[in-house]
Amino acid sequence: MFYQKDVETMRRADIEALQLQKLKKMVDYCYNNIPFYHERLQEAGVTGDKIKTLSDIQYIPFTTKDDIRDNYPFGMMACPMKNIVRIHASSGTTGKPTVGVYTKKDIDTWAELIARIGAASGVTDEDIIQISFGYGLFTGALGLHYGLEKLGATVIPASSGNTQKQLMMFRDFGVTGLVATPSYALYLGEMVKESPYPASAYKLRIGLLGSEGCTEEMRTQIEKNLHMFVTDNYGMTELGGPGVSGECELRCGLHFAEDHFLPEIIDQDTLERKGPGEVGELVVTTLSREGMPVLRYRTKDITRINYEPCACGRTHARMDKVMGRTDDMMIIKGVNVFPSQIESVLVGMEHVGPHYQLIVRKKNFLDTLEVKVELSNGELLQSYGELEALQHKIHDRLKSVLGLETKVTLAEPKSLERFQGKAKRILDLRNEPEE
């Protein structure tokens, strides 16, 4: 069991003392080694010796994704390339990819953080873990791979796709754990239900899902289909990948690795810092990274942080599951709408499948939202009355949750796209000619 009790159960005062010590060093490290930060910190008048308390972090300027893209590929690197042993990058679907570089120490720390999360969620050295993330520049697969090996688990680098082969390995290799996106785990669960093999052919017991949001309703559906206990973990390329935080077996928040990361919550509009327990945008400072550290990185993820010790004994702060992202938030007729809100309404409803699509259009200069929902029962298509009743039920529930009129369209079973990586739920047609 990879449980670092001396670190994970530190007193709050000791955690904050360690963070302050590391923050002062990190400010100077960035000032001396990264021209971008040298200029920013000099302009703000901030050096390590001027950081007297953790609250002084507020004087450090924020870092954004645009800052990292503007310095593509290696302008944010803090050491010579000869010290770098690994390069990762985001998909870059909206422009240049976000690049992350790692020293040998960074890779070792990363593996340790993943092992810590794996142990907290219940993984042991007797587990056989199938990693169904796509391998490559994406941080998720290799990040989980190294960490779970460090924990002592047996790792199968299955990568994504070829679903029937994934199921075959589940059965033939006696797989007990799955690493995947929630979307793909949902799809695998559908395929398991349809396979000719009995439930006893599968030994799955634990899932470490990540890379995209997963509502409680979706998690319940995945657990029901795959008969396994599912935990959530969090990270992103800019922060070094997964390993920033993760759930323990009690699942009452994601434990932040506060000895390596310093989290804050800010108001996304005023940029003012918020207090413990208040909802806002997560900002993270890396405290240990050598290759590409970041100061006050604006993640755009909406959450809140609880500093009370967990009943499991761990004392590091816990973040709520991400409620949404400021950049996937839709503003429809003045109302803020997150896909997670819609998912929480749809998943688990009778006759409704867990797959959906959100279509945004512009009509009479106003944005409109269509929610396309896949039926789980094709026989319902034979009854217009039942279809109409279900459509009204979904509409009314969405209106109650969102405070907004939406168009609800019912689609045939298995007609919507399945995703092996991150699900792309929003179809933005606002630049298309009006119908």
**Phi/psi of residue 259, nearest 5 degrees:** -80, -10
403 CB-contact burial (10 Å; exposed 0-12 / middle 13-18 / buried 19+):
exposed
Decide which of 246 and 432 is more confident: 246
For the chain, give every residue range classified as CATH 3.30.300.30: 330-428
Average pLDDT over the chain reads 93
> Any idea which residue has 């690795």 for tokens?
257
How far apart CA 217 and CA 345 sit, in angstroms, is 8
Which pLDDT band holds residue 362 (cuts at 50, 70, 90)?
confident
Helix (H, G, I), strand (E, B) or coil at 80: coil
Residue 419: the pLDDT is 81
Q: Which tokens belong to 193?
A: 């239900």
Note if the pTM is more than 0.85: no
pLDDT for res 1: 58
Q: Domain 330-428, CATH 1.10.3720.10 — does that match? A: no
Looking at CATH, the fold of the domain delimited by 1-325 is given as: Rossmann fold (3.40.50)
- Which residues belong to CATH 3.40.50.12780 in the chain? 1-325
Q: Under a CB-based contact definition with an 8 Å cutoff, are residues 346 and 373 in contact? A: yes
pLDDT tens digits, one per residue of 61-96:
999 989 998 999 999 999 999 999 999 998 654 467
